Structure 1
């Protein structure tokens, strides 16, 4: 996570220069190599080196996840595309939990290699973003990419002209990719960047990363009679399954409504969990084994709310709010901040538990979730069904905003 904080901005420049397909191919090869290193490691230094390389690859992957889906999808499919990306993250976490339960570390590492290797073949058929190709004046490749993405029978001329117009406008304001950093000084680009960072800040202040990282420890601290390792697997499944419901809702409901509602449900469930744990820790006799189901129910409700709205909608709005002129470098900065938030939440959780108790920590997360609701309702523009140009108009002081709140 520390590596991701440092290199995420550079990862954005790498993706801008090399393109998605080459970055994913090199990154997957590096991941295969690092998992082999972990499987064969004989000392801590080899493990550390492998994890450092994995941190860099993860930074590149996060930029790709933020940028690629919205650049290749049509407006009506943007939310679902980002939801699929979030679902794959949740599926990976669930399979890792399950694999860690039934496999020893060395076989588990080789299993990851076996899963990653076939992706190298699939990446050969991956199409580059038409917008990225247009920036490099590869017109024939743009046509091939659009025909593959939209289908052979679809008229791609309007979209092709729109992409060319977008790139022409970019070149007027941004001669080179490196000057994206300079553009971020302008309010037109700085405002959405700050909003994107705040979205992810409130997303992580729900405590989901702490719940993910310390699942087993939390069930032990709560005195649950259920097996904590199987509870972790159940929580992994609960994180993944709501993604299917999210796909059905994400293009049917306004983004702000879905995000604020799910944040409210998440906050209430965390508050109930925090009060339960506070009462349990304060009681000299405890609450008895018959109450062991309360933590898993509260965490399941929280996880459902997170999987349906908080997780996928946050990333969807980040991808939609970030202007195309600074998307790759901006995505690097955003993911650097995101990695920092993950690191700080994971780092401070055990110390916070010692200071105020596990119940107090989850009550604090609940309050942060409710603050996030206020932020969503008062500061974010609606993005569902709107083009990037229409969204960016909200931050252009020379034009009248269109329904920002």
Structure 2
């Protein structure tokens, strides 16, 4: 009998980790979509296809992710609130499987565009959904590591696609996406539904069962459930319109604005373009190594850094990692830009090293943490609509940078382009230093008041020894001073 209880306890503890990790595992598709760009040179050189892919097509195929993202944010919030996060994750895998197969075996360029747009749309719909669900299903003591697993899967997917682009025929490499998605589709049937979504829809018993299944401490889970019910009953938030109304409160819109700033400045710092134009970039920089091998090196570096981040993020905290990696990425971009401008043949390896430092720093903090913060910082009353707003601005930035990157290189050159990246990354580190609260080991309910109780929060998080008089305007819960 005792052995049976012990096995049951071990299984329960395993599931506490497995459920949020499985949600993060679905993110490998994002890595496949990003790494898909590595097959384009092979596709352009393939004379056996019934269509030609021009340089203009390459630019648009890589830019449609942003366009699809802006369109997808219009439906993301309503879809999540209507069907539930877990149900959306499960059933969205089916069209994904079809789109990977269409992209792999299409006889027409138009269907290639359709596959790319459809997969990008799915990527954007699940973009805010995955970190939100991971945060809700993760015990606070391991939430940082579980959120980092999302970036590990993106990096892993990116690396796998880079390797397949080098070793396999391009259509075979793309078709692998359908195989892995099928595995995800089957496994996701075992996921519990979001306890926060269930509570918002009045299904308190199901919410309690779901929450108890994903927490190490049953006592803390019970207390968390009580707080969640009180929050839901105090603020109507069951529909998208309810959530839009709640955005008028400073405690709700401030974290959303901060996350928007982080996403936009990160993209202006070159994130999407570096990972999508990797092969073209190394060819342009005249690095004396095979460009595809450099690309694989980039993918491996990002994966290793992401694993290190998952191990250390709950120990070091989000704030120092974000500031430090933003500055490291800025320094790497600056170094890369300077040496590209100098154009020293004997130092052609320097841009490669600088780029690998950028990639490692990105994978260690700047890549995984903002996605995790989407799940941690957006308050319950505006979780769906707040995530959609963040992804809209992220998508707009992705489109602008991916479409304009070739134009920037043609106009300024690769060196000055990297120098501009460093400026935005320094600005990002300043904003994080001034405005960002630490979220490590804090419950989601606790984080909801992080942008409300200003003076106490500043002393605790930023260690600013000053007396701040807190005042409230009307019923919005908004302080007169700026945080």
Q: What TM-score results when the alignment is normalised by the length of structure 1?
A: 0.92
Tell me what 1:330 maps to.
386
Tell me what 1:197 maps to.
260
- Equivalent residue for 2:109, pick from 16, 38, 44: 44
Tell me what 2:327 maps to.
264
**2:317 touches 2:438 (CA, 8 Å); kept in 1?**
yes
Change (3 A) 1:345 1:152: same
Pairing 1:123–2:178 present:
no
Cα displacement (A) at 1:62: 0.5
- Equivalent residue for 1:293, pick from 335, 338, 349: 349
Tell me what 2:82 maps to.
17
**2:87 touches 2:193 (CA, 8 Å); kept in 1?**
no
Tell me what 1:275 maps to.
338
RMSD in angstroms over aligned alpha carbons? 2.0
Cα displacement (A) at 1:326: 0.4
Moved more, 7-16 or 83-92: 7-16
Tell me what 2:363 maps to.
307
Tell me what 1:176 maps to.
239
**1:203 touches 1:314 (CA, 8 Å); kept in 2?**
no
Structure 1 gap segments, 5+ residues each: 281-286
How many aligned positions are there? 395
Q: Distance in 1 between matches of 2:416 and 2:220?
A: 57
Cα displacement (A) at 1:153: 7.0
Tell me what 1:283 maps to.
none
Tell me what 1:284 maps to.
none
Change (3 A) 1:275 1:88: same
Tell me what 1:374 maps to.
430
Q: Distance in 2 between matches of 1:295 and 1:179?
A: 50
Change (3 A) 1:158 1:182: closer
Structure 2 gap segments, 5+ residues each: 1-64, 463-483
Change (3 A) 1:9 1:63: farther
Tell me what 1:110 maps to.
175
Task: List per-residue Cα deviations over 1:169-208 (Å, max 9, x = no partner).
Answer: 233xx46333212222332322211111001112222212
Q: Distance in 1 between matches of 2:108 and 2:438?
A: 51
Tell me what 1:321 maps to.
377
Task: Specify the SS of the correspondent of 1:75.
Answer: coil
Q: Which has the higher contact order (CA 8 A, sep 6+)?
A: 1
Cα displacement (A) at 1:158: 2.0
**2:100 touches 2:175 (CA, 8 Å); kept in 1?**
yes
Tell me what 1:252 maps to.
315
**2:201 touches 2:238 (CA, 8 Å); kept in 1?**
no
Q: What TM-score results when the alignment is normalised by the length of structure 2?
A: 0.77
